[in-house]
Amino acid sequence: MSTYLPNHLRQTVLKMAYSGSTVHIACAFSIIEILSVLYRHHLRYPGNNPAAPDRDYLVLSKGHGVMAQYACLYEKGWLNKTDLDNYFKDGSTLKGLSDSHIPGCEVTSGSLGHGLSVGVGLAMAAKLQAKDQFCYSLVGDGEMNEGTMWEALLFARQHALDNLIVIVDENGFQAMGKTHEVLYLGKLADKFSAFGFDVLEVDGHNEAELHHALTHLKEQKNGAPKAIIARTVKGKNVSFMENDNSWHYTRLNEATFAQAMEELGAHSPEPTL
């Protein structure tokens, strides 16, 4: 049985990033607990089938955090060791952004601002077909700069999509700097509330808080779409990565890989999966 232990998932991300000599580690780390709780308690896949017609949907609009999702898909058994060993290498099916050709990845995302719109469409389709399906759309706080995000939110409220839960990874950074310096959006919870959403704010690394918030919002069948503002730390649980935005694009070397694995409790820091 998969347990989706957060630091174990982080170790898998590190192994992938080191093996593939790739980036986007810190932004994957900030969403680990969110994904852990979703996969452990909330996402429904009848028959453990990623294409089950009545499944719930997880739309990773923040597509550059996909290594965190790959780590979960590996635990579900939908990806294998060879897939992860070959991450980002020539001929690999696993790219550095979410790709809908991968079982469990609902959308091709990474061009920020459009994944949420796809999620809204999936939630709308489930409503029209009177299906008991939820759509969880995980977005970045920097991504909230995009106008398409706000159009999608307006559409969701107009059509009473209370089966849509938007989770904002509010880590305070985007690719080129702090979110409040690049484009200050104020208090996101207030904005979502003004757009007609039921909103909760949580510590995005507290699994109990996340689980409670998700459970509570799903029970509110009141026509209002839902949002969780999850306060997170970019690079969570690795001291030299936490709140250091250079790790949006920095690659691991042998020394930083070993140190990060040590901090995450790994006994053997070799890059094997």
| Count of structural domains within the chain | 1
pLDDT of residue 270: 47
Is it the case that residue 251 has pLDDT exceeding 80? Answer: yes
271 in any annotated domain: no
Is it the case that residue 269 has pLDDT exceeding 60? Answer: no
272 in any annotated domain: no
Q: How would residue 273 be classed by pLDDT, with cut points 50, 70 and 90?
A: very low
Please report, rounded to a whole number, the percentage of residues in the chain having pLDDT higher than 90.
95
270 in any annotated domain: no
pLDDT of residue 2: 67
pLDDT of residue 271: 43
86 in any annotated domain: yes
Distances (CA, A) of 203 to 13, 30, 63, 80, 266: 22, 11, 22, 31, 25
Q: What is the CATH number of the domain that holds 52?
A: 3.40.50.970
> With contact defined as beta carbons under 8 Å apart, do 155 and 163 qualify?
no
224 in any annotated domain: yes
Q: How would residue 272 be classed by pLDDT, with cut points 50, 70 and 90?
A: very low
Mean pLDDT, rounded, of the chain: 96
HSE, side-chain direction, 13 A CA sphere, residue 177: 5
* Tens digit of each residue's pLDDT (9 = 90 or more) over 212-235: 999 999 999 999 999 999 999 999
Residue 231's domain comprises: 6-263
Is it the case that residue 155 has pLDDT exceeding 60? Answer: yes
Q: What average pLDDT does this structure show over 167-195? A: 97
207 in any annotated domain: yes
84 backbone dihedrals φ, ψ, rounded to 5°: -70, -35
Q: What is the pTM of this model?
A: 0.96
Q: How would residue 196 be classed by pLDDT, with cut points 50, 70 and 90?
A: very high
Q: What average pLDDT does this structure show over 153-178? A: 98
268 in any annotated domain: no
* Tens digit of each residue's pLDDT (9 = 90 or more) over 95-127: 999 999 999 999 999 899 999 999 999 999 999
273 in any annotated domain: no
Is it the case that residue 161 has pLDDT exceeding 90? Answer: yes
Q: What is the dihedral of CA 91, 100, 9, 165, to 10 degrees?
A: 170
* Tens digit of each residue's pLDDT (9 = 90 or more) over 31-85: 999 999 999 999 999 999 999 999 999 999 999 999 999 999 999 999 999 999 9
Q: How would residue 267 be classed by pLDDT, with cut points 50, 70 and 90?
A: low
